[in-house]
């Protein structure tokens, strides 16, 4: 009896599986073409999971994404051709492995993963299976609403903390450092504007510099690890602009001196303009240029779209692709787009490619992740994974 139970466990964990049949996958693709008129530029690998409500995050392991939604455990979902293998790393090492409001920093280069848990932060080493379970916030009126990596080698992270003491809330940015003894220290902190329900002023990190946008002045400030202001050419460029309305999102390239900014009206979300900042470009006229226009909504010729609505801009870990969502037609079922990146060109971003949408009926994207080998962008709709291997896309640029 024990042997049978053990064999059942091994089969359930290590055997590759896909809850969708080939027939079901072909039907999903056929329905996509009927509904949208053509195929995407790249079909994804489509894999059905065993459990619904399965969200994913990036891990440094080859051809894998992670999840903390199953069996109170950290689990790797390893792609095996058109299937996945469930590789449970560790179970029940704390109460509520996947509990709380979770925000993730960018993919780690080393063996770590990490995420917030409302008021705590969990770091887990996938190699030696050790973990750091810290609770930096003890007040019931405060909680985390974001986190970004500052210095991975020293386990330093900047957290966005909301303090609900005022009608709009107060936003703090804290730089914390963690060690293997489970201890942490607050290295520096700054009060960085209001944290409204309808709008939070964007911030970002590149090369150990923290950039914070202020919507009252429509200006950027840059800070070092002590949250002391420093001079940066990006801030000089942005702060010299005239008639910029309101910043909705900003994302910096992991290594190149470029950033993508999404502008919107002050009053509402919509009618987006997307800009590319290249603050080291020798041509001053090309240091801040419009990147996307209305025509980026690839199906706009079939419906009356008043304006561009896009979000969730992400550079790939190697910096060779920019992926985002076009929500102009349907924010519940956005079109995922990918643009190639080449820092040696005058216009470093190339022509957008259509990755497509999630294909399960009535489903919406619930989470996304990156894989470095092979370079892939992965979307979960809770029950189905969609994996686009971006090296299979052609890289086209406007300039030769």
* 121-157 pLDDT tens trace: 999 999 999 999 999 999 989 999 999 999 999 999 9
As a whole number of angstroms, the distance between CA 161 and CA 188 comes to: 13
Given a cut of 50, is residue 326 above it in pLDDT? yes
How many percent of the chain have pLDDT more than 90? 75
The widest CA-to-CA distance across the chain, in whole angstroms, is 75
* 39-70 pLDDT tens trace: 999 999 999 999 988 999 999 999 999 999 99
Please check whether residue 397 is in contact with residue 339, taking contact to mean a CB–CB distance below 8 angstroms: no
Q: How high is the mean pLDDT of the chain?
A: 90
For CA atoms 393, 395, 396, 397, the dihedral sign is positive
Q: What's the pLDDT band for 381 if we cut at 50, 70, 90?
A: very high
As a whole number of angstroms, the distance between CA 241 and CA 244 comes to: 7
Please check whether residue 70 is in contact with residue 51, taking contact to mean a CB–CB distance below 8 angstroms: yes
* 253-278 pLDDT tens trace: 999 999 999 999 988 877 788 999 99
pLDDT score, position 166 = 65
Pair of tokens at residue 25: 């996958």
User: What's the predicted TM-score (pTM) here?
Assistant: 0.92
- C-beta contacts of 244-249 below 8 A and 24+ residues apart: 244/218, 245/218, 246/215, 246/218, 247/201, 247/202, 247/213, 247/215, 247/218, 248/202, 248/272, 248/311, 249/202, 249/311, 249/313
As a whole number of angstroms, the distance between CA 100 and CA 125 comes to: 20
Please check whether residue 66 is in contact with residue 59, taking contact to mean a CB–CB distance below 8 angstroms: yes
* Section 107-133 average pLDDT: 96
Q: Tell me which of 111 and 193 has the higher pLDDT.
A: 111
As a whole number of angstroms, the distance between CA 399 and CA 300 comes to: 25
Lowest mean pLDDT among 64-68, 172-176, 195-199, 252-256: 195-199
Please check whether residue 339 is in contact with residue 349, taking contact to mean a CB–CB distance below 8 angstroms: yes
User: 3-class secondary structure for the chain?
Assistant: CHHHHHHHHHHHHHCCECCCCHHHHHHHHHHHHHHHCCCCCCCCEEEECCCCCECCEECCCCCEEEEEEECCEEEEEEEECCEEEEEEEEECCCCCCCCCCCCCCCCCCCCEEEEEECCEEEEEECCCCCEEEECCCCCCCEEEEEEEEEEHHHCEEEEEEEECCCCCCEEEEEEEEECCCCCEEEEEEEEEEEECCCCECCEEEECCEEEEEECCCCEEEEECCCCCEECCHHHHHHHCCCCCCEEEEEEECCCCCEEEEEEECCCCCCCCEEEEEECCCCCHHHCEEEEECHHHCCCHHHCCCCCCCEEEEEECCCCCEEEEEECCCCCCCCEEEEEEECCCCCCCECCCEEEECCCCCCCCCCEEEEECCCCEEEEECECEEEEEEHHHCCCCCCCC
Highest mean pLDDT of the ranges 9-18, 259-268, 285-294, 382-391? 382-391
In the beta sheet, which residues pair with residue 120? 117
Given a cut of 50, is residue 34 above it in pLDDT? yes
């Amino acid at each position: 009896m024990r042997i049978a139970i053990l064999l059942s466990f091994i089969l359930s964990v290590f055997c590759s599986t896909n809850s969708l049949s080939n027939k079901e996958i072909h039907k999903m693709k056929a329905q996509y073409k009927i509904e949208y008129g053509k195929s995407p530029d790249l079909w994804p690998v489509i894999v059905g999971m065993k459990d619904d409500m399965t969200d994913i995050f990036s891990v440094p392991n080859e051809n894998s994404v992670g999840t903390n939604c199953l069996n109170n455990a950290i689990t790797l979902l390893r792609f095996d051709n058109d299937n996945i293998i469930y590789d449970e790393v560790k179970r029940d090492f704390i109460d509520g492995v996947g509990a709380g409001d979770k925000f993730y920093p960018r993919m780690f280069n080393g063996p770590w993963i990490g995420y917030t848990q409302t008021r705590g932060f969990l770091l887990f080493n996938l190699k030696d299976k050790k973990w750091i379970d810290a609770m930096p916030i003890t007040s019931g009126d405060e909680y985390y609403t974001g986190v970004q990596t500052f210095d991975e080698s020293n386990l330093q992270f900047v957290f966005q903390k909301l303090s609900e003491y005022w009608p709009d809330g107060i936003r703090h940015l804290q730089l914390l450092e963690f060690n293997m003894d489970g201890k942490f220290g607050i290295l520096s902190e700054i009060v960085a504007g209001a944290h409204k329900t309808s709008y939070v002023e964007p911030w970002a990190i590149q090369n150990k510099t923290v950039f914070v946008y202020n919507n009252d002045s429509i200006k950027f400030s840059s800070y070092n690890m002590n949250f002391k202001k420093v001079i940066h050419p990006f801030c000089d460029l942005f702060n010299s602009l005239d008639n910029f309305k309101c910043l909705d999102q900003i994302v910096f390239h992991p290594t190149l001196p470029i950033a993508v900014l999404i502008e919107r009206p002050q009053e509402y979300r919509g009618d987006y303009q997307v800009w590319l900042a290249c603050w080291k470009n020798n041509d001053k006229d090309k240091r801040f240029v419009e990147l996307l226009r209305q025509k980026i909504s690839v199906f706009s010729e079939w419906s009356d779209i008043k304006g561009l609505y896009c979000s969730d801009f992400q550079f790939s870990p190697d910096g060779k692709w920019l992926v985002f969502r076009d929500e102009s037609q349907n924010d519940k079922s956005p079109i995922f787009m990918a643009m190639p990146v080449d820092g040696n060109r005058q216009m470093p971003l190339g022509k957008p490619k259509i990755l497509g949408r999630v294909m399960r009926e009535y489903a919406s994207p619930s989470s996304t992740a990156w894989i470095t080998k092979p370079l892939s962008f992965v979307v979960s709709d809770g029950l189905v994974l969609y994996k686009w291997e971006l090296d299979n896309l052609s890289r086209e640029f406007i300039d030769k």
